[in-house]
Amino acid sequence: MSQQRNSPNRCLSSIEAQNLTQISEFQLIGLSEDPDLQPLLFGLFLSMYLVAVLGNLLIILAISSDSRLHTPMYFFLCNLSLADIGFTSTIAPKMIADIHTHSRVISYESCLTQMSFFLIFGCMDDMLLTVMAYDRFVAICHPLRYPAIMNLHVCIFLVSVCFLVSIFESQLHNLVVLQFTKFKDVEISNFFCDPSQVLSLSCSDVYTGNIIIYFVGAIFGFFPISGILFSYYKIVSSILRVPSSGGRYKAFSTCGSHLSVVCLFYGTGFGTYLGSTVLHSSRNTTVASVMYTVLAPMLNPFIYSLRNRDIKNTLKTLYSKIA
């Protein structure tokens, strides 16, 4: 396919405007074109990716190896770590390989696959954080009924629902993208196939597609955030009724790690998209995307391990056995 650039307001010519199934590849703009920065970027992001994967694997290993951590909260945390590994592994290896090979080409099939897994694992993170907020709500507001409400079958059901909803959202986005038949450019203004970036390249009538995507985004964005906010509203209301300051601190400390991860996840995600809307700079958008695709999954294990005494003790025990 010809990769000659056209004006931003023009679509490809009738010869170049091929069916989507005939398009063989897209171009990613990458993080930087400076050749002197490539070794530094390669080492930096390879290290960040390895830390993210190993950190989340340590969380999973710690939870799996200690029977005291076989509780609903840690069951959801284990699944969140798996989702974080999948999320960053969808983006980072391709980015690192592109830096190493100085190639920014991605095939159409690979782009569609990357978008699918990006949406699946991103939505999984979103839904699991909501489920974890509900778990903390039940634990603090209904402590006596907690074992009965959050039993193993309910926990497995909630995780299964999170996965199925994520699959549904991903496939719905893909069905919309598959309707596009013409493109005004083949250059994606990011280092991965961001669904919103791919959508913006279409020359087809995307009005219906935009409605569907924004509607789905509102449902899967508004309801999880609403669920988290409502859970914490009830949690705070319940904690404020605790008579002693020590009891209030102990109750709220069980939510500290989750609240930190929620702020990191939504803060970096919303910051990236709102920033790209305001700044209108593809380079700034690319740099900001690193925050939630690589940095957030890397920091989550540190947040939970440093703020959680049970996990710290388990990790120390594992280390002493190995040493």
What's the Cα-to-Cα distance from 168 to each of 83, 115, 273, rounded to whole Å? Answer: 16, 13, 23
Domain boundaries, the chain: 23-312
Query: What is the structure's pLDDT at 213?
Result: 66
Q: Which of 1-10, 214-223, 247-256 has the lowest mean pLDDT?
A: 1-10
Query: What's the CATH fold of domain 23-312?
Result: Rhopdopsin 7-helix transmembrane proteins (1.20.1070)
pLDDT band per the 50, 70, 90 thresholds, residue 228: very high
Query: What is the structure's pLDDT at 208?
Result: 63
**Tokens matching residue 106:** 């991605």
Q: Is the separation of the CB atoms in 162 and 80 below 8 Å?
A: no
Query: What is the structure's pLDDT at 304?
Result: 83
Residue 51 C-alpha from the chain's centroid: 16
Answer with the residue of higher pLDDT: 253 or 23: 253
pLDDT in tens, 275-311: 555 555 566 667 777 877 888 888 888 888 777 777 8
Q: Is the separation of the CB atoms in 251 and 239 below 8 Å?
A: yes
Average pLDDT, the chain: 80
pLDDT band per the 50, 70, 90 thresholds, residue 12: very low
**Does 135 have pLDDT greater than 90?**
yes
pLDDT band per the 50, 70, 90 thresholds, residue 151: very high
Q: What percentage of residues in the chain have a pLDDT greater than 70? A: 81
3-state secondary structure of 239: helix
Query: What is the structure's pLDDT at 285?
Result: 67
Query: What is the structure's pLDDT at 233?
Result: 92
Compute the residue count for the chain. 323
What's the Cα-to-Cα distance from 259 to each of 266, 269, 306, rounded to whole Å? Answer: 11, 15, 14
**Does 120 have pLDDT greater than 80?**
yes
pLDDT in tens, 65-118: 888 889 999 999 999 999 999 999 999 999 898 888 888 888 888 888 898 999
Query: What is the structure's pLDDT at 59?
Result: 92
Cβ count near 175 (within 10 Å): 11
Which distant-in-sequence residues (6+ apart) come within 8 Å of 31 by Cβ?
Answer: 41, 95, 99, 191, 286, 287, 290
Provide mean pLDDT across the span 6-20: 45
DSSP state of 295: I
Q: Is the separation of the CB atoms in 90 and 118 below 8 Å?
A: yes
Query: What is the structure's pLDDT at 266?
Result: 83
Cβ count near 127 (within 10 Å): 26
Cross-strand pairs, 106: 26
**Does 204 have pLDDT greater than 70?**
no
